[in-house]
Amino acid sequence: MQFQTFDTYEALSKAAAVAIAEEVRANPRAVLGLATGSTPLGLYRELIRLHREEGLSFAQVKTFNLDEYYGLAPDHSQSYHHFMWENLFSHIDISKENINIPSGTPDDVDAYCRAYDARINEVGGIDLQILGIGTNGHIGFNEPGEELTPRCHRVQLAEATIEANARFFDNAADVPRTAITMGMESILQAKKIMLLANGEAKAPVIGKLQTSGITTKIPATLLRLHRHVHVYVDAAAASQLAR
């Protein structure tokens, strides 16, 4: 696991966008794993700029999002479907049929999840997976626990996650209690992984990511099992990293 520190969130976002642009230019049919949340917003803004000003094309790129709140329809203002269209997809030349985001309202969760995992395999797996990290160490919505579920599944959100995400809803009671998430195995099967973290609130978990052993209590520590993980942090999130 390689840590790279950037002075500012803007610099981190630009560097992440450059890495994605390199991937897509080298392989226009790249399969990208995408994340939601505040963290990748700067990255998505920069990708939109690269598309508009430097001709970066996503016409043949395929994407798979990590997760979606259970019970939220795609047109709900807080759904991750809505987030992705609003913050990225509407502004680039990606084909609708190449976009995959877990449904928050599947009829049969198990069958739906098996099909989601199968689609990832059918396209040859994810080339580059973008991740944020929860203050509790979750990635996607794989929450800390005694065990982690390898494949796509419906998960109970941790209290810390509900509290952290309440800022996007009118009140904490409106935050869905469960979600559909890609599992740890699918994340770890990505060829390359880029984890982004910014802000003081992430400093403790980034510090632990560097020093902790591998534990399901901090799901992000499982990334140590992967050969190609780049962790991009801004100065605030890096403040508890050993030099």
H helix or E strand, kind and range, residue 81: helix 80-87
Residue 147 known to be catalytic: no
- Reading the block at residue 128, the tokens are 């580059």
Least CB distance from residue 194 to ligand PGA, whole Å? 13
Residue 67 known to be catalytic: yes
Pick 36 or 63: Cβ nearer ligand PGA? 36
Least CB distance from residue 230 to ligand PGA, whole Å? 17
Which positions touch ligand PGA (CB under 6 A)? Answer: 37-39, 132-134, 138
Q: Which residue is nearest to ligand PGA (CB)?
A: 37
Please compute, for residue 162, the number of CA atoms within 13 A of its CA located in the half-sphere on the CB side: 14
Cα–chain center distance at 24: 18
* CA angle centred on 136, ends 9 and 129, rounded to 5°: 55
Residues 6+ apart with CB under 8 A from 53: none
Pick 39 or 63: Cβ nearer ligand PGA? 39
Pick 32 or 133: Cβ nearer ligand PGA? 133
Helices (H) and strands (E) in the chain, counts: 7, 10
Pick 123 or 188: Cβ nearer ligand PGA? 188
User: Which long-range CB contacts under 8 A does 197-201 form with residues at least 24 apart?
Assistant: 197/39, 197/132, 197/133, 197/231, 197/232, 197/233, 197/234, 197/237, 198/9, 198/12, 198/39, 198/233, 198/234, 198/236, 198/237, 199/9, 199/234, 199/236, 199/237, 200/236, 200/237, 200/239, 201/135
User: Distance between CA 219 and CA 241 in Å, rounded?
Assistant: 18
Please identify which of the residues 23, 67, 68, 117 carries the catalytic annotation. Answer: 67
Least CB distance from residue 70 to ligand PGA, whole Å? 16
Pick 86 or 110: Cβ nearer ligand PGA? 86
Least CB distance from residue 53 to ligand PGA, whole Å? 25
Least CB distance from residue 36 to ligand PGA, whole Å? 8
Residue 91 known to be catalytic: no
Please identify which of the residues 46, 117, 127, 143 carries the catalytic annotation. Answer: 143
| Longest CA pairwise span in the chain (Å) | 49
Please identify which of the residues 51, 81, 138, 153 carries the catalytic annotation. Answer: 138
Please identify which of the residues 76, 87, 100, 136 carries the catalytic annotation. Answer: 136
Which of the residues are catalytic? 67, 136, 138, 143
